[in-house]
Structure 1
């Protein structure tokens, strides 16, 4: 897909691949199951870290800093990690990152269990977990096109999102239960266990080593990926739209623990249930995203989802009752999934194979920059006002940004590719 394809029109009818069609390929199924296990552990872990910080401190800034500390390594190191994934054997790199994250999660479990953790230590270990994630995510995503035919790549990306959101649907509830019964240490321990399944899949994957691009220096390879991402029109617009959506949307993630605990008077299980609602909404949206994309086109679909998210965010800020707040999680999760899955799939369809890991690293950098900056901004707004005020301001900003982001077209990168291969 090239930058010339900027039309937002709906293509003519043709036989479209089914959402679950990539599951016909055994290797993809194995990776999908491993990803589900890893995502489940990650969500349980995140619930544990966020809730533990509310035990250690009632400062909105420190609670927001948990998410920032996870995103900061991605912001600083995603592009070098992408270069690494394009230059060396991705399988070995993934094995190393899984082992690193297992050690960090186990350390967090031990320190929390023995009551030796404090806010600075929690943020430091969370940053180390983010370091493992920055090495893992672009490498893992760059492997996706090796698992299915190109025509099924949008469906493979959607299934990856389903895995992520299935885990989000169940993981927070499990995490809330574990925290309520045994304490936050059990959430970290469960995450450590989840890495074992991923390591098993990677150790049994017989992959031919193809990344040995030593003709250019490390810095030259990094600049090559950055130039492509910034100069190729579709990719540049994807990066812009990711940033302008996640910047205000990050208010939800950074302020939700405080909103659940103090405004809605919920315990850790209630907080987990709210995050679970986001995951359920996202999974439900996954089954209709292809139909919506063909009906409205990618650009209009993204604009609509972004506008709706801003409305629901403002409504959430006004909620003082638990049930209405929980119900709002469903459409917000759907909007989140529609925006990021569409942008992620467009990026993967646009990137050439030799630059795929570096290009996805640029995507993750844009997302992490918005998440880190947004979390700190909304934490500061909450310090000056309240979590509800922070959500209202973020909702207003997102509504204002709908029109300018609509001008940054991502065209028909998904539908045209499927049409030509259908």
Structure 2
């Protein structure tokens, strides 16, 4: 990794018409071998592969650190959930572990975005990662020594949620500084891949660690991943600087919310998130019960279904640049939502596994394509001085829609059954996919 960056990678101009060797003298902070495409076929006719941002050394190191951190998070979640079952086995306390992590995101994502827009992002990320390292290391020691309690676990998990709510909008708003504008959508897609790879492998690794070393090891591994992120942040010599521009914290918050509400594309992104996540949350809220009651599968079968969602997301990411290049963002989102709805319809029939698992793969691809497109559109649309606040609004809208949808589909399933709930959710998603065309994104992500 380069230890000094003279200008942000987002300012790199891609050399297309010139031969490869002529770009060697470019003043770009990225070497020619990392940022040149073949001139034989114009970019307009041949979209770049989804992994293109990994040629950029700085982004590659950030992506590797993010993958390790995501993996550690999923390993940690397995350990925390299992630990609570040994401390206090009631369903309410087990469910409270995830709730204590999610609540800060719902209520504090926008204020956290204000912080990220007013203070240096690199220092803020180092502070949050150091806090998360301290919390997970403390949890590992207390668990290893046998001094952890149920309420102590919830308290430490809540503190982790506070750290994560600052970390996530700050991290996402930093992506446009790491890659050129025309690669932001691919960078966001690669972030989705790292998340889904971690979601696929993390629970299995966590189970092995618990069986071989004990629950404490899952927290220790997560602490090590946070330490790795801190190392990468130390090597990032960032030149951009944030400023409050003389505004108070409250005025900055109002400015960010007002921009998102008044800017047409950002407003449409928020509407798109609600249109998709509200019916789409039926999958995540009802999948464990579906696996247990409708299919008669145990925890391993449920793990296979979750892994299929992740695998579908990874495969969809490989095709996303070409599909977006051909169909555009608006039609792609509508088609992806239709794909997800088709999987919900299949689940409502409770078919055999050889039909169900391919449908879940399709749903994973639809989930990734929709949210990646909306996320990348937001990051491209937002001006740098408002980007973290805008991404805080995005995360708030997503978390609020997920929480509302989970409650809604649980109530519906209790009245008409799982199959009926999936049918209602699928019908609602088809309707919102068509309705979403009236709120265009109107942004080229590959220019």
TM-score of the superposition, structure 1-length normalised? 0.84
Change (3 A) 1:322 1:63: farther
Match of 1:127 in 2: 158
Secondary structure in structure 1 of the residue aligned to 2:437: helix
1:284 counterpart (300, 315, 320): 315
CA contact (8 A) 1:39 1:163 kept: yes
Q: CA deviation at 1:62?
A: 6.9
User: In 2, Cα distance between the equivalents of 1:93 and 1:117?
Assistant: 30
Offset of residue 383 of structure 1: 5.2
* Alignment partner, residue 92 of structure 1: 123
Cα displacement (A) at 1:106: 4.0
SS state at 1:212 partner: coil
Instruction: State the alpha-carbon separation in 2 of the partners of residues 390 and 184 from structure 1.
Output: 36
Which residue in 1 is equivalent to 2:261? 230
Distance 1:176 1:408, change over 3 A: farther
The higher radius of gyration belongs to 2
Contact 2:114 2:388 in 1 (8 A): yes
1:361 aligns with 392
Aligned match of 2:374:
343
Give runs of aligned pairs for residues 78-157 of structure 1, distance below 5 A. 78-109=109-140, 114=146, 117-118=149-150, 124-157=155-188
Q: Is the 8 A contact 2:182 2:445 kept in 1?
A: no
Alignment of 1:170-209 (within 5 A): 170-179=201-210, 185-208=216-239
Q: Determine if contact 1:68/1:371 at 8 Å carries over to the other structure.
A: no
Q: Is the 8 A contact 1:70 1:130 kept in 2?
A: yes
Alignment check: 8 A CA contact 1:102 1:192 kept: yes
- In structure 2, C-alpha distance between the alignment counterparts of 1:318 and 1:109, rounded to whole Å: 44
What's the CA shift for 1:229? Answer: 0.8
CA contact (8 A) 1:345 1:414 kept: yes
* Match 1:400 to one of 427, 431, 438: 431
Matched, 1:374 2:402: no
Task: Decide whether the 8 Å contact of 2:72 with 2:202 is kept in 1.
Answer: yes
Indicate if the aligned counterparts of 1:172 and 1:275 stay in contact, CA closer than 8 A.
no
SS state of the match for residue 445, structure 2? Answer: helix
Alignment of 1:377-392 (within 5 A): 377-382=408-413, 390-392=421-423
Asked whether 1:218 is paired with 2:249, we answer yes
Q: Structure 1: which 5+ residue stretches go unaligned?
A: 1-11
Q: Displacement of 1:353 after TM fit?
A: 1.1
What do you get for the CA RMSD once the two structures are aligned? 3.0
CA-to-aligned-CA distance 1:291-338 (integer Å, 9 cap, x gap): 111222211111121122122123234437555444333111101100
The total of aligned residue pairs comes to 403
Q: 1:359 to 1:296 in 2, by over 3 A?
A: same
Alpha-carbon separation, structure 1, partners of 2:435 and 2:100: 29
2:139–2:148: 8 Å Cα contact kept in structure 1? no
The equivalent position to 2:189 in structure 1, one of 158, 164, 171, is: 158
Q: Superposed, which structure 2 residues align to 1:310-329 within 5 Å? A: 310-319=341-350, 324-329=355-360
Aligned to 1:3: none
Q: State the Cα distance separating 1:159 from its structure 2 match.
A: 1.9
Seen in structure 2, the aligned counterparts of structure 1 residues 155 and 229 have a Cα distance that, compared at 3 Å, is same
Answering whether residue 277 of structure 2 is matched by residue 246 of structure 1, we say yes
Shift of 1:362: 1.1
Following TM superposition, by how much is the alpha carbon of 1:411 offset from its aligned partner in structure 2, in angstroms?
A: 1.8
Q: Is residue 21–residue 155 contact of structure 1 (8 Å, CA) maintained in 2? A: yes
Q: Which residue does 1:28 correspond to in 2?
A: 59
Q: Is the 8 A contact 1:47 1:272 kept in 2?
A: no
Contact 1:50 1:257 in 2 (8 A): no
2:49–2:321 contact (8 Å) kept in structure 1: no
Question: For residues 257-314 of structure 1, what are the alpha-carbon distances to aligned partners after superposition, in whole Å with 9 as ceiling and x for unaligned?
Answer: 3333454444444333322221111111111111111222211111121122122123
Secondary structure at 2:246 match in 1: coil
Indicate the structure whose relative CO is greater, using CA pairs within 8 Å and at least 6 residues apart.
1
User: Does residue 198 of structure 2 align to residue 167 of structure 1?
Assistant: yes
Q: Identify the range of structure 1 (17-26 vs 256-265) with the bigger mean alpha-carbon deviation.
A: 256-265
- Structure 1 residues 306 and 110: CA distance shift in structure 2, 3 A: farther
Alpha-carbon distance in structure 2 between the residues aligned to 1:236 and 1:117 = 44
